[in-house]
């Protein structure tokens, strides 16, 4: 009863707090968020790296979106062509971009070495099991003359998709339970707060099909994070960049380079001040 009054004493208070955390910490498209700043630093590394290549450039973004490139101010490059590859093609409204449908684990529509660079940001952990992840890595290495691939680190304590500590080490059913009842990702924050206000008042909670148990279980199964050893095995000739957050490795990048302008463990490590 006291908890219920706590919710009621500040209408929308909990929802506002959770939305604030999402916007200021986790929203990678909000320029004022912590996640955006981390992504921007990573993209600065990419821009330093790509500056070593001669123009024009043809880039394949395996699993990416035009919004990502726009958020980094990359939609004004006249001498770079970027092809977005996803399960479904999407409209593009900037010159130099095109969007195709396809499977990143089987890019048979592309020739060997067709692209100067293959770029992929937080995708390989979503394609399936070890075999499918390896197939994606092999395809990236086949169709690209060079690559720049990023993935969250398995051993970073906060799981980056659902925002729970050590979520990645929990049993699958427990993961689905937390997603179903305590969805902290995206717009699920508001729904979670509202649904728990109803539960604490013994009211019926109705869910949309997209919030079903089956969907929660699917989401639990959709994230298979990689550790450094496995990631290196998929890209054996890549150089490693460890993205640091409070002294811990938040994500990993493996890349090939046309020159030795930086070493594996050099200035690419960014500590959060």
Q: Give yes or no for residue 5 having a pLDDT over 80.
A: no
C-alpha 226: how far from its chain's center?
13
How far CA 269 is from CA of 18, 31, 241, 247, 253, in Å, comes to: 30, 21, 7, 10, 11
Contact 163, 184 (CB under 8 A): yes
Q: Could you read off the pLDDT of 126-182 as tens digits, one per residue? A: 999 999 999 999 999 999 999 999 999 999 998 888 878 899 999 999 999 988 888
Contact 223, 168 (CB under 8 A): yes
Q: Could you read off the pLDDT of 189-233 as tens digits, one per residue? A: 666 667 767 767 776 767 666 678 898 898 898 899 999 999 999
Give me the residue spans of the domains in the chain. Answer: 1-14+162-222, 31-158+225-273
Q: Could you read off the pLDDT of 30-68 as tens digits, one per residue? A: 656 666 667 677 788 888 899 889 899 999 999 999 988
Across the chain, mean pLDDT equals 80
Q: Considering the domain 31-158+225-273 in this protein, what is its CATH number?
A: 3.40.50.150
Q: What is the mean pLDDT of residues 76-81?
A: 82
Q: Check residue 114 and give its pLDDT.
A: 97
């Amino acid at each position: 009863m006291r908890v219920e009054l706590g919710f009621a004493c500040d209408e929308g208070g909990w929802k506002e707090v959770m939305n604030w955390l999402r916007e200021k910490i986790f929203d990678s498209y909000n320029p004022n968020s912590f996640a955006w700043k981390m992504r921007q630093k990573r993209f600065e590394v990419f821009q330093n790296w790509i500056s070593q290549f001669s123009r024009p450039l043809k880039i394949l973004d395996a699993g990416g979106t035009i919004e990502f490139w726009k958020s980094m101010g990359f939609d004004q490059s006249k001498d770079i062509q970027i092809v977005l590859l996803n399960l479904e093609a999407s409209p593009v409204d900037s010159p130099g971009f095109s969007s195709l449908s396809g499977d990143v684990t089987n890019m048979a529509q592309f020739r060997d070495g067709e692209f100067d660079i293959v770029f992929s940001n937080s995708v390989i952990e979503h394609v399936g099991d070890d075999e499918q992840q390896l197939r994606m890595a092999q395809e990236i290495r086949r169709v690209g003359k060079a690559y720049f691939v990023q993935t969250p680190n398995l051993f970073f304590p906060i799981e980056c998709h659902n925002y729970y500590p050590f979520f990645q080490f929990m049993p699958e059913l427990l993961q689905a339970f937390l997603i179903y009842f305590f969805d902290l990702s995206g717009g699920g924050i508001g729904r979670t707060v509202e649904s728990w206000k109803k539960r604490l008042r013994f009211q019926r909670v109705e869910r949309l099909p997209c919030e079903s148990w089956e969907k929660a279980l699917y989401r639990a199964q959709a994230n298979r994070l990689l550790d450094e050893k496995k990631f290196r095995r998929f890209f054996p000739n890549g150089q490693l960049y460890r993205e640091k957050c409070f002294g811990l490795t938040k994500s990993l990048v493996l890349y090939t380079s046309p020159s030795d302008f930086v070493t594996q463990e050099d200035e690419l490590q960014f500590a959060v001040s």
